[in-house]
Amino acid sequence: MLGRQKPQRSLFEAEVWPHRVAEDSIYGRMAAVRDVLFVDDDLAEMYCVENGRPSLPPSLMSGVLLLQFHDGVGDEEAVDRLRYDLRWKVGLGLPLDYTGFDPSSLVVYRKRLLKHGQERYAFDRFLKVARTAGFLPDKIRQLVDTTPMKGAGAVQDTYTLLRKGIRRLLKAMGFAVPEKRRGLQANLQRYLESDKKAAIDWADPQARAKELGALVRDAEASLDLATGRADDDEVRATGWLLTKILGDDVVAGEDGQAKLGEGVAKDRFISWTDPEVRHGRKSSSGRWNGDKIEVAEEPVTELITEVDVVAANAGDGKSLIPMIESVEEHLEVNVEQATGDTAFGGVENRVECANRGVDLVAPVAPLRDPEVDKSAFQIDEAAGTVTCPQGQTTKQSREVRDEAGRKVKQFWFDLDKCTACPLFARCVQGPKRDGKCDGKPERKHERKVGRTITLNYHECTLRDARKRQGTAEYREKYRERPKVERKIAELMEHGLRQARYVGRKKKRLQALWTTAAVNLKRLFKLAKGDATRIKVALGTISTGRSAVAMMNA
């Protein structure tokens, strides 16, 4: 049953007694608007209105959740602060003798928010306040960027992944029950009896190789047992992941024995604790295990207009259009400009933004070798010619397909002319015509043409973007981009670098409520300490309240 905050004030309320909590702190400012900061009726759909015991008021729980993510504390510490921290008592309007509640109530409340799709409640509410108060206009600009989020689940090696995968698959098939193990191979029964690593000398390569071979054989035997049980969702999902581990991590050696493959598969599975986490990389040296946070910020107000958690190995540029669409949908605004780094400057994003009327300010990928890069070639699509930096011109071309399966034109130069060029070693990649390259033996597929130039499906768009990048107008617009990096740094100060939960839905809730706390602080700064302006906006968007009623309150 829905519980509500009691309007009756207590003699022991923290605000009644003299205190040292600063009025310009987040706690003091929350106290000034606490009666409308969150409204119980806004979340009434999450509760049974008539039956059961009254719940803890959702307005109170929302306030606790907001301060919990603002201060970066766990559930038990959050409840302790409710009991003993005067700042929390003032901010939430609690009496000095408030006894708190069990920390598990916060777990239940978060689950309830997720179940009813209300994880964006505080985040969207404060952005509506910004719109109502006039801080956000109808047309806005966006700064976008991403940052790593370290996972809370244990990252496991291949041996552990296989062992635990076999154990999970056997349990999913019902072999956890002792009576059902009859007839199960003895080597498979041991996975159900113990989940410990094998007692071998892990420093011995031969011992490791032997253990890997045994694990692979047992994994294949378990998958054979699972054949024909595709109607069971758990068996199917676990079997698929176990198959993926075998495919990503294990290869057959020259002797036919299983061995660990070299390199890392793009979408490698790394944890049974949190199956969604992946290896992420921002640079050749900056790798992490977990997820990735996407952030969009409005540069004038410095409010975060969108935040999301995606796979660590997801490309940054793919998130641009969905973020713009989400901002326009939730805020009812038009995004007229988006600014991001090179990852967001792909040609597909440029075309889509142009179609949507969005000015994309993002650099084109840097040139590895400007002297022989495609941009150094003179391309005349009307005449059907391409001229290289050394003055050689070709009309030879053919149609090929790009990564999206679209037909594009590819020009090539004669190998004889390219071989005589002083830039040949830098310009032409692959084996030479004589079948030898860098002293290596003759290859089956030798190169028969020189340099090739493949036109982009949107070649003109790419060329115009590179030309615009050198203008003063572009540099002036791009100068705003560091603002979003500073805002991300502020989010990290509130604990968003480390995931608190397992599962991307819960991590998204963490990101949204942390961002809501940061946005609330920014709203009070935009109002220049005038709590009345924020209070009126909160009252305007609240259920059953009006701006006039708030002014009279």
Residue found under tokens 């002014």? 551
Residue 316 lies in a domain: no
Residue 551 resides in a domain: no
Contact criterion met (CB below 8 Å) for 344 and 144: yes
Q: Which residues contact 327 (CB under 8 A, 6 or more apart)?
A: 140, 142, 296, 305, 306, 333, 335
- 13 in the same domain as 108: yes
Claim to verify: residue 179 and residue 83 sit in the same structural domain: no
Say whether both 100 and 165 belong to one domain.
no
**351: phi then psi, degrees, rounded to nearest 5:** -65, -45
Residue where a domain stops, chosen among 405, 428, 460: 460
446: domain range?
A: 374-460
State which of 210, 236, 260 marks the end of a domain: 260
State the Cα–Cα distance between residues 351 and 310, nearest whole angstrom.
24
How many residues belong to the chain?
A: 553
- 107 and 10, same structural domain? yes
Same domain, 57 and 164: no
- Distance CA(213)–CA(219), nearest Å, equals 10
Q: Determine the pLDDT at residue 437.
A: 41
Q: Which pLDDT score is estimated for 60? A: 95
3-state secondary structure 390-456: CCCEECCEEEEECCCCCEEEEEECCHHHHHCCCCHHHHCCCCCCCCCECCECCCCCCCCCCCEEECC
| Residue burial 149-176, b: 16+ Cβ < 10 Å; e: rest | bebbbeebebbbbbbbbbbbbbbbbebe
Find all residues with CB under 8 Å of 229, minimum gap 6, and list them. 173, 235, 236
DSSP code string of 494-515: TTTTB--SSSHHHHHHHHHHHH
Give a yes or no: residue 349 inside a domain. no
Boundary (domain end) residue, out of 260, 289, 306: 260
Q: Are 21 and 96 part of one and the same domain?
A: yes
Say how many domains are in the chain. Answer: 3
109 lies in the same domain as 215: no
Q: What are phi and psi of 446, to 5 degrees?
A: -85, 155
Quick one: pLDDT at residue 9? Answer: 63
For the packed helices 320-331 and 347-356, what is the interaxial angle rounded to 10 degrees?
30
Report the alpha-carbon distance of residue 484 to residue 479 in Å, rounded.
11
Q: Is 397 part of any domain?
A: yes
Based on the fold, state whether residues 163 and 229 are members of the same structural domain. Answer: yes
Per-residue pLDDT of the chain (553 residues; tens, 9 = 90+): 687 776 666 655 666 556 788 888 999 999 999 889 999 999 999 998 777 788 899 999 999 999 999 999 999 999 999 999 999 999 998 988 888 999 999 999 999 999 999 999 999 999 999 999 999 999 999 999 999 999 998 999 999 999 999 999 999 999 988 888 877 888 899 999 889 999 999 999 999 999 999 999 999 999 999 987 877 899 999 999 999 999 999 999 888 899 999 888 889 999 999 999 999 987 766 789 999 999 999 999 999 999 999 999 998 888 899 999 999 999 999 999 999 999 999 999 999 999 999 999 999 988 888 899 998 999 998 899 999 999 999 999 999 998 889 999 999 999 989 999 999 999 987 655 444 444 444 444 456 789 999 999 998 899 899 999 989 999 999 999 999 999 999 999 999 999 999 999 999 999 999 999 999 999 999 998 788 899 999 988 874 443 334 444 4
Query: Cβ(533)–Cβ(129) under 8 Å?
Result: no
Q: Which amino acid is at 475?
A: R
The C-alpha atoms of residue 344 and residue 255 are separated, in whole angstroms, by 46
Does residue 173 sit in the same domain as residue 112? no
189 and 255 together in one domain: yes
Angstrom distance (rounded) from CA 369 to CA 380? 22
Residues 17 and 113 grouped into a single domain: yes
Token duo for residue 266: 């793009």
Helix (H) / strand (E) element for 278: namely: strand 278-281
Q: Does 307 reside within a domain?
A: no
Residues 6+ apart with CB under 8 A from 415: 433, 447, 448, 449, 450
Question: Is residue 107, in this structure, part of any structural domain at all?
Answer: yes
Residue 11 lies in a domain: yes
- Cβ partners under 8 Å of residue 478, min gap 6: 339, 361, 362, 363
113/162 same-domain check = no
Residue 46 lies in a domain: yes
pLDDT confidence of residue 33 = 92
